[in-house]
């Protein structure tokens, strides 16, 4: 796949590929040989230790603890007056959750996001697939999206505000311009790169054009289209936050800007923390959904 | 695209779009769409000015510095993650998280810590660019053929030699690809940072033009930026293809 | 496989596939085929053999109707080929299985495209899955199978549509050597059992001599027919015996001598 969006690490959803097994945790607990009488009992210890250290979940937990401790420490130094500790932030977060502010903010933020993403997904996949199937459509439309893909489209936001005012529409449009190009281009490339032998197979077994598109091209393109949807959703989140910071402060953007202006940094950080966690969980959810609904062969191996 | 027997290159359709724009612009349908010819006239007018040069200088400086930091941090981190399973398990969740997280939400954090100046823009660029560089460098190192790693061991290369003489070169195609994608993200980062800070560089110009409804100026600036981003992408993609023979020879 | 069925085929079977004066020039000027004329007798296994890069796969795909010839025509059962048809089925070099579909759906896919009802096509598919030795793997996905098993799926799919002519494009080239030998033995059995015409493409001389009734040697690009060999090897009950038969060894040697000159020219 030679697309502007392709990256060796992102190619074919290889992000979460399991690491090859290698011996880990050597020499971490070598003190047992100093006490011969208990040696037989202590013998399994290095093994258990090594297993524990190399266990993915354990290391993930360690990594979370390290990062949050570092945050806590940096906040206590403090590295900046505008840098609250981890615990202060969590405290502020629970406060925002308790008084309902956070849910209200999310409700407001999610409206332009949901509308914009839905529109981008429907329109984007339709555009991309059409261009993948039709050379004329590709010739006509693809250059616009290729430029949009590499361009800093965020700069269009002031123009969107002129065109649509400062309400919901401008924010929806912001989400769309951020999310759509990657969805369109991924769909286009996915369709264009259907394995030739599968296409020949469809033809040689007398599939009609629509059968080949419906039963071969689209299923074969699904993984890359979904990769585009994940990237598009991530871009949509970027767009909605940007819109809320730049156009008018509403929702999460309002909590961020308001608390920034009154120097309630813990609350500001808590809002940022919550939207980042939310977006990551949301994208994870899409991936799960993809596997459950559209990828029986992946489900089979789980 | 083939019309008759003549192959019409892909980007020729832009001429049609441009013509369409010109027609809409001239019809005066909306003040936000000025005729394209007027926008191009503005480009010629704006680009030689001192204000533009200053904005370009500030933006370019932040962009290059941010990228340099992102590469200097990202590539070694990615190589370490590719070689060490522990480092990989510790860092990978965070790299993946920040790769798809709405980084715009973190820009206000950078703003309150570093103030409303050039440092903030540089940090925004780093924040946008670094993660994909790490991930691609990691992928590149993991893609090195095991026999090359064994060769390094057999010939007694110490870890530093192995790192500097083998892993970096063997993973070069992926590393370059990561840097290209990092730069694309950096362009977006530098613009988003300046839009939010809005008192320096192009951000200030955008603010100036939009507050005075100078649509021709605004579009002219946008076109310059888009053209720059597109050219950058194409040049880097071309460079990447140049090392492709190398990737092919590696496997 | 036994001699009785082989002899039951008339001495002069009619030509079911006729290739007449076919040429193929790819866009860009690569000349793959140069006025090839050939007949493929019904009920036999004919192999197209030649150095790699010669037009053997191109010729097979032209017969399949997957790519158009630039000159000449192909007739199957007397009808001129303009595209794929129900009397021909294709077995692909890279298997061409749909990774998102299980074995049962992959095998039944040819019938699915023809609009055969689900229960009916799955019954047919199941019987062929059993015949190729994959019983119990109906619900497995291609990535869970070995290369050899995948090609059995590809073969079963081609058999379900009950075509008269089976076109096989280097079907065993992506399979390891042991599996390949077993495949060749099974193919002989299949040819004897299914009274179909097989067109087989390979670059392996041993494979060609082992499985073929007739071997068509193609020259380097632009290909023409350089020689037709009809191995006269007794096909007894023991498939292993063929590989030890002097006639087998002689034929392999004869073809090798014939092909070697192209290699020398190439160097």
A174 and A48 both lie in a single domain? no
Contact A215 C143 (CB under 8 A): no
What average pLDDT does the segment C137-160 reach?
91
Q: Are residues A76 and A101 in the same domain?
A: no
Which chain A residues touch B13 with a CB distance below 8 Å?
Answer: 139-141, 143
> Looking at the domain assignment, is residue B5 inside a domain?
no
CA distance A202 to chain C (A): 8
Q: Count how many domains chain B has.
A: 1
- What pLDDT digit, counting tens, does each position of B1-26 carry? 566 566 777 788 889 999 999 998 88
- C-alpha to C-alpha distance for A78 and C87, rounded to whole angstroms: 80
Say if A11 falls within a structural domain: no
Chains in contact with chain B (at least 3 beta-carbon pairs closer than 8 A): A
Q: How confident is the model at residue B131 (pLDDT cuts 50, 70, 90)?
A: very high
Q: Binning pLDDT at 50, 70 and 90, where does residue A34 land?
A: very low
Q: What string of DSSP letters covers A181-214? A: HHHHHHHHHHHHT--HHHHHHHHHTT--HHHHII
Domain presence at residue B168: yes
C76 Cα to chain A: minimum distance (Å): 14
What pLDDT, on a 0 to 100 scale, did the predictor assign at position A252?
92
Tell me: pLDDT of A37 over 50.
no
Contact residues on chain A for C64, CB-CB shorter than 8 A: 204
CB-nearest partner of C100 from A197, A204, A296:
A296
Mean pLDDT of C115-127: 93
How confident is the model at residue C52, as a pLDDT?
73
- With an 8 Å Cβ cutoff, are A204 and C102 in contact? no
> Residue with structure tokens 């704006």?
B46
**For chain A, what is the domain count?**
2
More confident residue, A119 or C220: A119
Helices B172-197 and B215-242, axial angle in degrees (round to 10): 170
* C90/A200 Cβ within 8 A: yes
Q: Is the pLDDT of residue A15 over 50?
A: no
A134 and A79 co-located in one domain: no
Are A169 and A26 in a shared domain?
A: no
Predicted confidence at residue A52, as pLDDT, reads: 65
Domain of A130?
A: 97-301
Cβ contact, residue pair B225, A155, below 8 Å: yes
Average pLDDT, chain A: 81
Minimum distance, in Å, between the CA of residue C233 and any CA atom of chain A? 33
Residue at B7 is within a domain: no
Strands C197-202 and C165-169: parallel
CATH number, domain at B214? 1.10.3720.10
Q: Is the pLDDT confidence value at B249 over 60?
A: no
Q: What is the Cα–Cα distance from A127 to A187, expressed in whole angstroms?
A: 8
**Which residue from B89, B178, B187 is facing A152, i.e. has the nearest CB?**
B187
CB contact at 8 A, C44 and C9: yes
Tell whether A60 and A160 lie within a shared domain.
Answer: no
Quote the mean pLDDT of chain C. 85
Nearest CA in chain A to C94: A197
Q: Indicate which of C58, C66, C82, C99 best probes the interface with A, i.e. most A CBs within 10 Å of its own CB.
A: C99
Say if B25 falls within a structural domain. no
pLDDT at B163 over 70: yes
DSSP states along B54-96: HHHHHHHHHHHHHHHHHHHHHHHHHHHHHH-HHHHHHHHHHHH
B146 CA to chain A: closest CA distance, Å? 12
Long-range CB contacts (within 8 A, 24+) of A80-84: A80/B112, A80/B113, A82/A263, A82/A265, A82/B112, A82/B113, A83/A265, A83/B113, A84/A265, A84/A266, A84/A269
Residue B171: strand, helix, or coil: coil
For residue range C194-243, list pLDDT tens digits in order.
Answer: 888 999 998 888 888 888 888 998 888 778 888 888 887 777 667 777 88
Residues A119 and A237 in one domain: yes
Domain assignment of residue B81, given as a range: 45-250
CB atoms within 10 A of CB A52: 13
d(CA C44, CA C199): 8
* pLDDT, tens digit (0-9, with 9 covering 90-100), for B47-91: 888 888 998 999 999 999 999 999 999 999 998 898 888 888 888
B-contacting residues in A 264-283 (Cβ below 8 Å): 265, 268-269, 272, 275-276, 279-280, 283
pLDDT the model gives residue B245: 61
CB A240 within 8 A of CB A109: yes
Confidence of residue B200 (pLDDT cuts 50, 70, 90): confident
What would the two tokens of residue C142 be?
A: 């291609």
Domain membership flag for residue A13: no
pLDDT of B161 over the 60 cut = yes
Residue after which a domain boundary falls, among A55, A83, A111: A83
Tell me if A71 is assigned to some domain: yes
Shared domain for A227 and A277, answered yes or no, is yes
Q: Pick the range with the lowest mean pLDDT from A198-207, B159-168, C123-132.
A: B159-168
Per the prediction, chain B carries an average pLDDT of 86
Residue C65 above 60 pLDDT? yes
The answer on A197 and A50 residing in a single domain is no
What percent of chain C lies above the pLDDT cut of 70?
93
Q: Is A296 within the bounds of a domain?
A: yes
A186 shares its domain with A227: yes
Compare CB distances from B104 to A79, A135, A238 and report the shortest one's residue: A238
Report the pLDDT value the prediction gives residue C34, as an integer from 0 to 100.
86
Q: Please report whether residue A4 resides in a domain.
A: no
Rg (CA), chain A: 25
pLDDT at A18: 33
Q: Is A226 near chain B, with CB under 8 Å? A: no
Say whether B89 and A269 touch across the interface (CB within 8 A). Answer: no
| For A218, nearest residue in chain C (alpha carbons) | C100
C260 has a pLDDT exceeding 80:
no
**Nearest chain A Cα distance for residue B163, angstroms:** 19
Identify the band that residue A115 occupies on the pLDDT scale cut at 50, 70 and 90.
Answer: very high
Domain-located, residue B12: no
The answer on A279 and A244 residing in a single domain is: yes
Please give, rounded to a whole number of angstroms, the shortest distance from the CA of A259 to a CA of chain B: 11
pLDDT of residue B156: 77
Contact B229 A151 (CB under 8 A): yes
- Report the CATH number that the domain containing residue A254 is assigned in CATH: 1.10.3720.10
User: Does A65 share its domain with A179?
Assistant: no
Q: What is the pLDDT of residues B135-151, one digit of tens each?
A: 999 998 888 877 887 88
Shared domain check, A125 and A233: yes
pLDDT in the model for residue B251: 45
Q: Render pLDDT for A49-63 as a digit per residue (tens, 0 to 9).
A: 666 666 777 878 888
């Amino acid at each position: 796949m030679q697309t502007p969006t392709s990256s060796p690490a992102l190619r074919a959803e290889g992000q979460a590929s399991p690491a090859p097994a290698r011996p880990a945790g050597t020499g971490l607990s070598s003190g047992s040989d100093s006490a011969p009488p208990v040696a037989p009992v202590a013998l399994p210890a290095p093994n258990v230790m090594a297993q524990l250290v190399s266990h993915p979940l354990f290391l993930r937990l360690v990594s979370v603890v390290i990062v949050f401790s570092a945050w806590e420490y940096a906040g206590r130094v403090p590295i900046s007056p505008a840098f609250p500790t981890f615990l202060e932030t969590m405290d502020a977060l629970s406060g925002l959750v308790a008084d309902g502010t956070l849910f209200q903010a999310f409700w407001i933020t999610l409206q332009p996001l949901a509308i914009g993403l839905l529109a981008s997904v429907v329109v984007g996949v339709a555009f991309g697939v059409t261009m993948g199937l039709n050379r004329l459509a590709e010739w006509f439309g693809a250059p616009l999206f290729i430029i949009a893909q590499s361009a800093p489209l965020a700069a269009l936001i002031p123009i969107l505000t002129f065109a649509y005012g400062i309400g919901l529409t401008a924010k929806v449009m912001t989400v769309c311009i951020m999310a759509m190009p990657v969805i369109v281009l991924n769909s286009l490339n996915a369709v264009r790169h259907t394995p030739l032998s599968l296409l020949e197979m469809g033809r040689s077994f007398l599939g009609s054009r629509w059968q080949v598109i419906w039963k071969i091209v689209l299923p074969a393109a699904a993984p890359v289209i979904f990769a585009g949807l994940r990237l598009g959703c991530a871009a949509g989140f970027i767009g909605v936050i940007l819109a809320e910071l730049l156009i008018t402060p509403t929702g999460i953007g309002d909590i961020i800007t308001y608390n920034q202006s009154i120097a309630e940094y813990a609350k500001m950080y808590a809002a940022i923390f919550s939207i980042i966690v939310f977006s990551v969980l949301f994208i994870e959810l899409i991936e799960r959904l993809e596997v459950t609904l559209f990828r029986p062969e992946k489900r089979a191996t789980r | 695209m083939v019309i008759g027997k003549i192959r019409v290159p892909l980007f020729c359709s832009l001429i049609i779009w441009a013509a369409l724009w010109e027609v809409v612009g001239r019809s005066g349908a909306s003040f936000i769409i000025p005729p394209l010819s007027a926008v191009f006239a503005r480009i010629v007018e704006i680009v030689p000015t001192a204000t533009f040069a200053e904005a370009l200088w500030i933006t370019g400086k932040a962009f290059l510095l941010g990228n340099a930091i992102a590469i200097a941090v990202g590539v070694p981190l990615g190589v370490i993650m590719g070689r060490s399973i522990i480092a990989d398990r510790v860092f990978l969740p965070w790299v993946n998280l920040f790769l798809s997280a709405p980084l715009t939400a973190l820009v206000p954090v950078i703003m309150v810590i570093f103030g409303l100046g050039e440092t903030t823009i540089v940090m925004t660029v780093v924040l946008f660019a670094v993660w994909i560089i790490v991930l691609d460098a990691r992928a590149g190192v993991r893609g090195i053929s095991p026999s090359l790693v064994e060769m390094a061991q057999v010939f007694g290369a110490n870890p530093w030699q192995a790192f500097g003489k083998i892993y970096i070169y063997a993973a070069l195609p992926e590393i370059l690809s990561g840097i290209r994608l990092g730069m694309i993200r950096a362009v977006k980062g530098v613009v988003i940072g300046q839009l939010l800070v809005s008192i320096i560089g192009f951000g200030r110009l955008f603010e100036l033009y939009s507050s005075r409804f100078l649509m021709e100026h605004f579009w002219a600036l946008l076109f310059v930026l888009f053209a720059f981003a597109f050219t950058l992408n194409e040049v880097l993609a071309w460079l990447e293809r140049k090392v492709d023979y190398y990737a092919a020879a590696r496997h | 496989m036994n001699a009785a069925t082989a002899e039951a085929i008339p001495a002069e079977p009619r030509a079911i596939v006729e290739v007449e004066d076919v040429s193929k020039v790819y866009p860009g000027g690569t000349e793959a085929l140069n006025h090839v004329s050939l007949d493929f007798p019904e009920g036999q296994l004919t192999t197209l053999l030649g150095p790699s890069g010669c037009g053997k796969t191109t010729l097979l795909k032209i017969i399949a109707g997957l790519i158009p010839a630039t000159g000449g025509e192909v007739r199957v059962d007397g009808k001129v080929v303009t595209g794929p048809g129900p009397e021909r089925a294709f077995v692909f070099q890279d298997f061409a299985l749909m990774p998102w579909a299980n074995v049962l759906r992959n095998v039944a896919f040819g019938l699915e495209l023809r609009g055969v009802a689900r229960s009916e096509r799955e019954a047919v598919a199941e019987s062929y899955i059993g015949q190729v030795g994959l019983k119990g793997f109906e619900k497995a996905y291609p990535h869970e199978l070995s290369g050899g098993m995948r090609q059995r799926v590809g073969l079963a799919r081609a058999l379900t549509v009950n075509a008269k002519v089976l076109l096989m494009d280097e079907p065993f080239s992506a399979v390891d050597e042991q599996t390949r030998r077993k495949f060749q033995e099974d193919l002989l059995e299949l040819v004897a059992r299914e009274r179909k015409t097989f067109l087989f493409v390979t670059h392996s001389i041993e494979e060609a001599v082992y499985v073929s009734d007739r071997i068509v040697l193609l020259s380097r690009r632009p290909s023409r027919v350089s020689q037709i060999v009809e191995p006269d090897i007794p096909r007894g009950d023991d498939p292993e015996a063929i590989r030890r038969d002097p006639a087998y060894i002689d034929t392999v040697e004869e073809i090798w001598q014939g092909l070697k000159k192209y290699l020398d020219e190439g160097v």
